[in-house]
Amino acid sequence: MKMFKGFQLRQKIANIIIKDHVIRYVELKQTTPLILSRCEERYLPSGIIQEGKIVDRETLETILEECVSDWKLKNRRVRFIVPDPVVVIRTISLPKGLEEDEIRSYLFMELGTTIHLPFEEPVFDYTILERTNEKLVILLFAAPEHIVKSYSELLEDVKLRPIAADISPLCIYRLFHTADQTKKEEHLLLVQVDLSAINVSAFHQHRPVFMRQLLFEGKFEQWEKKVDAFGNIVLEWKGKEDEPLRQLEDVYKEIERVMSFYRFSIQQGNGQISRILLTGDHPYLPQIYATMRERFDIVEMLSENLIVSDNSKTIPPSYHLALGLALKEGTS
């Protein structure tokens, strides 16, 4: 006897983001159109994770166990993101004669010897940027193996089953691409402004070209949690009144520097940023968007019509990263 197809239950994959200040989780009902089944978040006390590195594992494990229990995720398959501060993206020229199936082995041999990274024993992936008779150029993504392993083992210890890791620029780009807000010929700058850092990454030909991160000095405990009219947790600043605005001024200057670097150093004057895509979980994101529109005039945010929620609840930009992770293919 065969079960009716409509009665088959398929366990969804959990998509978890763990940042210095928060744990977020989303689950999709379907991808076309994009319908969100569930989203949850749990803010972390200051100091448990610092610049992507787990400092107080015992407390973090306790909190994550509570999340797994409250969100009913036990034994679920899970995707997670490698923290931005530990990720390195490099453009590297390889011997032009290397075949496709030889590249990974070559990188295994040369990382740490002829190809230098700011850490030992990396985990890595790559994409081919250019292959001609004269040269072979790849984009290398790398992170310290022990840090990636610390997150994977943490997830396993709270009865989850990690099946895939990703990096935030690829997740954010994937989401904007789903919204039909990317074009292959354009030079796009993704700007992700979060509570503790800004991540800036450039894309061309649907590929990342480089990534840069700027950390903020502000302390998380100076933000007070409140619940808005939609039932979402929002943060209000309780420190020195001008401090977040001063930090944001640094953000705009950094974006200008990145755009100049991209135009003159990376593109050698032959290309420049044509559009800026803005997202993030910073409480001042609407003000940031307004200011950036005035300064750059090429800024846009994710289309509000892209995401539909099961309960018609408004989905804030703070969940965009997890949504982009949920759209990762090949692991469902």
pTM of the predicted structure, to 2 decimals: 0.89
Q: How confident is the model at residue 99 (pLDDT cuts 50, 70, 90)?
A: confident
Strand partners, 41: 24
Residue-wise pLDDT for 184-193, tens only, equals: 999 999 999 9
Domain coordinates in residue numbering, the chain: 11-326
Instruction: Tell me the two tokens of residue 244.
Output: 């977040």
pLDDT above 70 coverage of the chain, percent: 93
Average pLDDT over residues 42-65: 94
Nearest residue to 237 via CA among 216, 215, 217, 220: 220
11-326 is classed CATH 3.30.420.380: yes
* 317 Cβ neighbours under 8 A, 6+ residues apart: 279, 280, 281, 285, 301, 302
The C-alpha atoms of residue 297 and residue 179 are separated, in whole angstroms, by: 20
Q: How confident is the model at residue 311 (pLDDT cuts 50, 70, 90)?
A: low
Quick check: 195 and 208 in contact, CB under 8 A? no
Residue-wise pLDDT for 62-98, tens only, equals: 999 999 999 999 999 999 999 998 998 888 999 988 9
209 alpha carbon, distance to own chain's centre: 15
